[in-house]
Amino acid sequence: MREIQFREAIREALTEEMRRDENVFIIGEEVAEYNGAYKVTKGMLDEFGPERIIDTPIAELGFAGIAVGAAMNGLRPIVEFMTFNFAILAMDQIINSAAKMLQMSGGQLNIPIVFRGPNGAAGQLAATHSQSFEAIYSNIPGLKVISPSNHYDAKGLLKAAIRDDDPVIFFESEVMYGDKGEVPEGEYVIPIGVAEVKRPGKDVTIVGYGKVVNVVFAAVEELTKENIDCEVIDMRTVRPIDYKTIIESVKNTNRLVLVEESWPLASIASEVAFVVQKDAFDYLDAPIKRVTQRDVPLPYAPNLVDASLPSIERIVRVVKEVMYRL
């Protein structure tokens, strides 16, 4: 299987869907002439022209509103945010227009739109440019929320998002754009709302999503050395959540650790833990535990960044706590 960069996997999904459906277009800051802030849309202006690859002013609320209006009229916009930290300015259109329009129109107006771009911590970008928004958007009925951890899933899930008739939030990782990973040739689509068991195991279930799954695998390598057999589940979609896959795993391993880059209060981990203890309490041999970002705005100093985010050491320690009831 060939190896391509994460940005190339995203670009392939965009390009293939734009070739397949002339109603799909991309709008955002620097997506055209500059080839995208992270070069995701490189070369797409030459192929599709300025009517389908559209540069905008620095006005997130404005171009998000244009895209929502286009979706109401039968087009399928893809809105690229330079970072989801900037998308805070567009939340009125995302939450009050895109998410609610189907219900408010009595089922007459679907909003087939994708809002995509980098999310979460990325180097020393400090507090206002290092936020993870999965839990915030997942709280909104009417939105679907995707956060892939790898190249293969990113391409397949983005294609599904573009074809979906509902608004989809698609989170990418800035630090992954240059990473290489395996993506097959040819057409494939991954259904939204289906988690995947990335690694089978019998001792403990570890659940995560997005780039933190790669930290989980690094921790699992260390735990394997101590004969702790971890099952790893990648949620992939955080709204809707595939509870069935997680619960079936917990029934086999009897222990659960949840890992995410978001803050702890009202987190995805909190919601999953609630449902698992409700539906699989009798199968648990230890309390459910989680590893999240510390409950502070992300610092700038690199040592404090490392101390704030989920780490190999923290995951290893918490897994041992549920294994040995420490």
In this prediction, residues 184-210 reach a mean pLDDT of: 97
| pLDDT tier for residue 1 given thresholds of 50, 70 and 90 | confident
Residues 24 and 104 in one domain: yes
The residue to which tokens 């909190």 are assigned = 270
Nearest to 113 by CA among 79, 82, 139, 80: 79
Q: Tell me, what CATH number does 303's domain have? A: 3.40.50.920
Which one-letter amino acid corresponds to residue 48?
F
Quick: pLDDT tens for 21-68.
999 999 999 999 999 999 999 999 999 999 999 999 999 999 999 999
Does the pLDDT of residue 225 top 80, yes or no? yes
- pLDDT of 321: 97
- pLDDT of 184: 96
Residues 174 and 306 in one domain: no
Does the pLDDT of residue 123 top 90, yes or no? no
Of 12, 29, 60, 271, catalytic: 60
Residues 66 and 142 in one domain: yes
Residues 276 and 314 in one domain: yes
In this prediction, residues 222-240 reach a mean pLDDT of: 98
Residues 167 and 29 in one domain: yes
189 part of a folded domain: no
Quick: pLDDT tens for 78-118.
999 999 999 999 999 999 999 999 999 999 999 999 999 99
Question: Could you tell me whether strands 3-5 and 180-182 are parallel, antiparallel, or unpaired per DSSP bridges?
Answer: antiparallel
Residues 9 and 70 in one domain: yes
In this prediction, residues 245-270 reach a mean pLDDT of: 97
Of 129, 222, 248, 321, catalytic: 129
| pLDDT tier for residue 238 given thresholds of 50, 70 and 90 | very high
Cβ–Cβ under 8 Å, residues 285 and 256: no
Residues 260 and 147 in one domain: no
Catalytic (active site) residue 60: yes
- pLDDT of 325: 80
Domain boundary among 124, 152, 182: 182
Domain boundary among 153, 182, 211: 182
Please count the structural domains in the chain: 2
**Across all residues in the chain, what is the average pLDDT?**
97
Whole-number Å distance between alpha carbons of 305 and 294? 10
- pLDDT of 236: 98
Tokens at residue 37, please?
Answer: 């802030």
Residues 9 and 94 in one domain: yes
159 part of a folded domain: yes
| pLDDT tier for residue 268 given thresholds of 50, 70 and 90 | very high
191 part of a folded domain: no
Does the pLDDT of residue 280 top 90, yes or no? yes
The residues facing 291 across adjacent strands are: 259
Does the pLDDT of residue 326 top 80, yes or no? no
**Domain containing residue 125:** 3-182
In this prediction, residues 158-164 reach a mean pLDDT of: 98
Domain boundary among 113, 147, 182: 182
